[in-house]
A and B are shown apart, each in its own frame.
Chain A
Amino acid sequence: MDTTCSAKDLAVLLSSSSNSTSSLAAATFLCSQFSNISNKLSDTTYAVDNTYLLFSAYLVFAMQLGFAMLCAGSVRAKNTMNIMLTNVLDAAAGAISYYLFGFAFAFGTPSNGFIGRHHSFFALSSYPERPGADFSFFLYQWAFAIAAAGITSGSIAERTQFVAYLIYSSFLTGFVYPTVSHWFWSTDGWASASRSDNNLLFGSGAIDFAGSGVVHMVGGIAGLWGALIEGPRIGRFDRLGRSVALRGHSASLVVLGTFLLWFGWYGFNPGSFLTILKGYEKSRPYYGQWSAVGRTAVTTTLAGCTSALTTLFSKRLLAGHWNVIDVCNGLLGGFAAITSGCAVVEPWAAIVCGFVASWVLIGFNLLAKKLKYDDPLEAAQLHGGCGAWGVIFTGLFATKRYVNEVYSGDGRPYGLLMGGGGKLLAAQLVQILVIIGWVSVTMGPLFYGLHKMNLLRISREDEMAGMDMTRHGGFAYAYNDEDDLSVKPWGKVEPTSRSSTPTPPLTA
């Protein structure tokens, strides 16, 4: 709505009723009042939008906690301290590296299509310098960056040296991930659907609203390389090639973590609108960005739920029982998949997304077993596999109306199965290939280099004893006093039949 007010023009209108001097005064008065209204409205909008984005950022941060608990519950007790420390440090080290350069590489503008580079963004030196970018945006993007690094730690859990972890995590959060987010989310990015100079890839740009590719695939592919290069955990595949389940030590922590991730996803997906106070159509004043935000929360919910239910019944058929751990993983796979298209598809399509995501996860898990690929959190299968499906899903089901609303345009390509042609799907496929390629050529050699320098995997003895005991100051749990000899200690939490070398007893 245009709120400009020209005193001269208004005075002309008013002058029919009196002499021109007083009508000019009246007009000036009216115009200045309208200007005040406009300022007040602008202030209100900033306050509302910042509130919305900040609380969304806090929710995304809560996913760190969720992932920490999911990881802890999914590994053996003897490695709990290790995996949780990696999660705490993802957030802490990620804050420093993202503040110093990650944010600038991702969103520094003006820049080129490959990587951001404006000096004022490094260490937030003269930020915020223009409207539309404030600290809330930085915090929100930081919360996403640390999510990506967290994913990778799941693939290499239980057998990776801590130093290797520090190195890959800083590199991923400070460089590899920001570059990818620049391509797809910056207004300068070569493949971005919100590119400002109208030079969109295939006339469309890739649509990855909250990051099935940018976050989940990046984390998952990085994890894939780490886990491939260092090999499976000892005892995971026996001499005959059979896979042996190395069960996590606490289903309660797994469920706690999963629910916290679900909770936080309401910041991850709907929050990616960044603003909420925006009307879309004059003719329907109740319909605006707030509606799209709500719809996105709904599609997110439906995809996760469908995936959880599908996994529940499929695993009942495949394994013969109702398994809460598998259902939790299925749920998360549904969320990882819907993350790309949550804002641009109808709720019914989200159900399709979740249904397929569940099968994609089951399929990739079977493939991993066949190839003797060991991933303690199924991170590569879930985030990489379901993430890729999510990117494709968007190319099939994005609706014309929502694409043009969210990405402000006219006649943009949309989902193939919705009659929108193949250009969007083509852009999505390009996104998948490019992410796989970029992450492989950056993180692959990094992990390989660490491996060659003997900095990647821990020794066999350390792996059998557990990293907590050997590197982290002791066991995570101590349910009985050390001097209480009347009760058997809690040391052994997995049966000795699983490994060829018996687990050493817990020492006081």
Chain B
Amino acid sequence: MSGTLTCSVSDLSAMLGPNATAAAEYICGQLGTVDNKFTDAAYAVDNTYLLFSSYLVFSMQIGFAMLCAGSVRAKNTMNIMLTNVLDAAAGGLFYYLFGYAFAFGGSSEGFIGRHNFALRDFPTLTSDYSFFLYQWSFAIAAAGITSGSIAERTQFVAYLIYSSFLTGFVYPIVSHWFWSPYGWASPFRSAQDRLFNTGAIDFAGSGVVHMVGGIAGLWGALIEGPRRGRFEKSGRAISLRGHSASLVVLGTFLLWFGWYGFNPGSFTKILVPYETGSSHGQWSGIGRTAVTTTLAGSTAALTTLFGKRLLSGHWNVTDVCNGLLGGFAAITGGCSVVEPWAAIVCGFVAALVLIGCNKLAEIVQYDDPLEAAQLHGGCGAWGLIFVGLFAKEKYLNEVYGATPGRPYGRLMGGGGKLLGAQLVQILVVAGWVSATMGTLFFMLKKLGLLRISEKDEMAGMDMTRHGGFAYMYYDNDDESHRAIQI
């Protein structure tokens, strides 16, 4: 770290001899000014970096909206896209009112934050509005994931209720545990208070975001049951194909693009030197994180391409897109603390995990239109384990503060404590989300508020609840094409 700029007038003038006080004051004044300018510059640079990263993460909402739209049947397109728009809108409001406070509000005993409700007493010494916006963009990502699992058969009211609860309470508490400097399992706690001497390492949220969204979706989809026609009486699975591969690819690429804000942006600051006078600092770690992210997704995509070619006999772009996203979900936990070659391993395994979870879902007759539980839940969990195996000591010290003797990846020689912390994270996230969202979905079902009627499901939700079909390729009065309308 560079030295600090300090200047004591009395010391300097003594050194300069008699009648040197004015000179000393002058020099100290100038050095003070220079110091201030650097401080200002650092804040400007870091906020620019974090704000633009937030905008990128926000663009993942567009990506997920398009992915969802393309993956469902045309008759439910309006519905799913509305849920995505509202994730962002309702999430914005609830996260501002209490979500952020629960997640990052001031000191706490480790379970839940308690300050900065509706951004009171804000900005603080450590957090500015850019940080709030960045965290908001993450919160709405988690809620979006869940909507994929329960697509095509869920009442809109149920959707509003679960989404607010998830973004305003369930998710913020999880992020408090692992990302707040006060969270009980957080690696940002002071060194002597960390879980297993390390805290669970989940850099950008394989667990905090992806598992939370995926497990919530799992319970929703389990409790309301598969879509009609998805599994025949004999148990055979029928694929209910999405209506537009173009939208799926558009959405996937936008998610990939936004992931460059999601992963590297999680450093939140870029102007942090590691050693005095070196050309390598946090900016290098950030670049490396963008590279590990890219490699994991790319490897997962290629593995899925060839895997599916073997399993189904053709080259399938929608499967490749899902594989790609699974690779990203997995690398999200460890992107900043592993070598690029390890990211390739991560992506390779993530593709296999996704294929495996999908096969399992088919066997147990679990229907998830976006494979969200399998992808975000399954690959997210793998991502946490991956960190426990491959995290590098040097990078952990750079990112989480130099701590001599800290545990690191088991396969890198760092012992088993980090892996232990990761497993604790998986269990705790699965348990908390199941207890909260599982109960919520069950109550909604009991109140008759969860699933839509069979008639509505066959006709499609757009027609029955959202004002009409999403697409209108022919005029109302064009008889020759027997237009697709009511």
Which residue of A44, A57, A68, A131 contacts B271 across the interface (Cβ within 8 Å)?
Answer: A44
Given contacts A36-B4, A84-B317, A138-B291, contact A128 B280 (CB under 8 A): yes
From the candidates B283, B318, B320, B484, name the one contacting A51 in the complex (CB within 8 A).
B283
Note all chain B residues with C-beta closer than 8 A to A478.
Answer: 73-74, 241-244
B45-53, B212-220, B431-439: which lies at the interface: B45-53
Enumerate chain A residues within 8 angstroms of B42, measured Cβ to Cβ.
44, 47
CA of A266 to CA of B298, assembled, Å: 24
Query: In the complex the two chains form, is A58's CB within 8 Å of B56's CB?
Result: yes
Whether the Cβ atoms of B324 and A92 lie closer than 8 Å is yes
Question: Which residues of chain B have C-beta atoms less than 8 A from A19's C-beta?
Answer: 17
Q: Which residues of B contact A37 (CB under 8 A)?
A: 5, 31, 34, 38
Distance, CA A401 to CA B361, complexed state (A): 65
List residues of chain A with CB within 8 A of the CB of B404: none
Contact with B along A231-256 (1 / 0, CB 8 A): 00000000000000000001001001
A161 to chain B, nearest CB (A): 10
| B284 and A72 within 8 A (CB) | no
B299 is contacted by which of A36, A96, A136 (Cβ under 8 Å)? Answer: A96
Instruction: Check if A68 sits within 8 Å of B250, measured CB to CB.
Output: yes
| A134 close to chain B: CB less than 8 A | yes
Query: Known: A58-B260, A162-B315, A472-B317. Is A46-B281 also a contact (CB below 8 A)?
Result: yes
Q: Is B234's beta carbon under 8 Å from chain A?
A: no
A480 in contact (CB, < 8 A):
yes
**Given A39-B273, A488-B482: A95 in contact with B298 (beta carbons within 8 A):** yes
Residue B41 CB within 8 A of the other chain: yes
Given B257, B264, B284, B302, which contacts A96 in the complex, CB threshold below 8 Å? B302
Whether A23 sits at the interface, judged by CB under 8 Å, is: yes
Any chain B CB within 8 A of the CB of A298? no
List chain B residues, Cβ under 8 A from A135: 284, 286-288, 290-291
The docked-state distance in angstroms from the alpha carbon of A247 to that of B108 is: 63
Q: Which A95-119 residues have C-beta < 8 A from chain B?
A: 95-96, 99
**B1-30 toward A: CB 8 Å interface, digit per residue (1/0)?**
011110100001011111110000001000
Q: Is A14 an interface residue (CB 8 A)?
A: yes
Name B287's contact: one of A50, A132, A253 (CB within 8 Å): A50
Given A43-B2, A96-B295 in contact, is the A472-B314 Cβ separation under 8 Å? Answer: yes
Q: Number of B interface residues at 8 Å Cβ cutoff, please give it.
A: 87
- Shortest distance in angstroms between A74's beta carbon and chain B's nearest beta carbon? 12
Task: Please indicate which of the listed interface residues A44, A57, A256 has the most CB atoms of chain B within 10 Å of its own CB.
Answer: A44
* Chain B residue contacts of A46, Cβ below 8 A: 273, 279-281, 283
Q: Is the CB of A88 within 8 A of B320?
A: yes
Q: Is B305 an interface residue (CB 8 A)?
A: yes
Residue of B nearest to A28 (CB): B15
Q: Which of A59-67, A181-189, A408-416 forms contacts with chain B?
A: A59-67
A-contacting residues, B244-268, CB 8 Å:
244-246, 249-250, 252-254, 256-257, 260-261, 264
Distance A61 CA – B290 CA, assembled complex (angstroms):
12
Establish whether residues A69 and B246, one from each chain, have CB atoms under 8 Å apart when the complex forms.
yes
Q: How far is the CB of B327 from chain A (nearest CB, A)?
A: 9
Question: Digit string of A65-85 for contact with B (CB within 8 Å is 1, else 0)?
Answer: 100110010000000111011
Contact A124 B471, beta carbon cutoff 8 Å: no
CA distance A80 to B244 in the complex (A): 10
Q: Which of B286, B341, B471 has the most CB of A within 10 A?
A: B286
Residue of A nearest to B258 (CB): A58
Whether B3 pairs with A472 at a CB distance below 8 angstroms is no
Q: A29-B15, A54-B264, A136-B287 are in contact. Are A95 and B3 (CB under 8 A)?
A: no
Asked whether, in the complex, the Cβ of A88 is within 8 Å of the Cβ of B254, the reply is: no
Please report the C-alpha to C-alpha distance between residue A131 and residue B321 in the assembled complex, in whole angstroms. Answer: 37
With contact pairs A99-B295, A135-B287, A479-B484 given, residues A124 and B340 touching in the complex (Cβ less than 8 Å): yes
- B75 at interface by CB-CB < 8 Å: yes
Closest chain A CB from B83 CB (angstroms): 21
CA–CA, A267 and B286, complex, Å = 18
**Is A274 among interface residues, defined by CB-CB distance under 8 A?**
no
A21-45 Cβ-contact flags toward B at 8 Å (1 or 0)? 0110110011011011101111110
Instruction: Indicate if the CB atoms of A44 and B245 lie closer than 8 Å.
Output: no
Is A22 a contact of B302 with CB atoms below 8 Å? no
Q: Which partner residue on chain B sits nearest A137 by CB separation?
A: B287
Are B320 and A89 neighbours in the complex by a CB distance under 8 Å?
Answer: yes
Q: How far is the CB of A150 from chain B (nearest CB, A)?
A: 12
Q: When the two chains form their complex, are residues A18 and B16 in contact, meaning their CB atoms are under 8 A apart? A: yes
**A418 close to B (CB within 8 Å):** no
Choose one: B18, B74, B252, B264; the contact of A88 (CB below 8 Å).
B252
Give chain B residues whose Cβ lies under 8 Å from the Cβ of A142: 294
Chain B residues contacting A30 (CB-CB under 8 Å) are 27
Q: How far is the CB of A35 from chain B (nearest CB, A)?
A: 8
CB pair B250–A69 under 8 Å, yes or no, is yes
* CB-based nearest B residue for A132: B279
Q: How far is the CB of A155 from chain B (nearest CB, A)?
A: 20
Check A36–B3 contact: CB distance below 8 A: yes
Chain A residues, CB < 8 A from B18: 17-18
CB–CB A92/B15 < 8 A: no
Q: Closest A-chain residue to B327, C-beta based? A: A92
Contact A51:B49 (CB < 8 A) given known A46-B281, A93-B298, A95-B295? yes
A353 within 8 A of B: no
A44 neighbours in B (Cβ, 8 Å): 38, 41-42, 45, 271
Chain B residues with CB under 8 A of A65: 250, 253-254, 256-257
Question: B15, B314, B324: which contacts A25 (Cβ < 8 A)?
Answer: B15
User: Cβ of B316 < 8 Å from any Cβ of A?
Assistant: yes
Residues of A within 8 A of B209 (CB): none
Cβ contact of A89, chosen from B3, B245, B301, B473, cutoff 8 A: B301
* B279 x A476 contact (CB < 8 A): no
Q: A476-B246, A478-B73 are in contact. List 19 more A-B contacts (CB 8 A).
A: A17-B17, A17-B19, A39-B2, A40-B38, A46-B279, A47-B270, A51-B52, A54-B290, A58-B56, A84-B317, A99-B291, A123-B340, A128-B280, A130-B279, A135-B288, A472-B316, A478-B242, A478-B243, A487-B484
10 smallest CB-CB distances across A and B, nearest first, come from A18-B17, A135-B287, A131-B279, A50-B283, A95-B298, A65-B253, A47-B271, A476-B245, A92-B298, A85-B317
- Which residues of A are in contact with B by a Cβ distance under 8 Å? 14, 17-19, 22-23, 25-26, 29-30, 32-33, 35-37, 39-44, 46-51, 54-55, 57-58, 61-62, 64-65, 68-69, 72, 80-82, 84-85, 87-89, 91-96, 99, 123-124, 128, 130-132, 134-139, 142, 162, 250, 253, 256, 468, 471-474, 476-483, 487-488
8 contacts between A and B (CB under 8 A): A29-B15, A39-B276, A61-B257, A88-B317, A92-B320, A95-B294, A253-B246, A479-B473
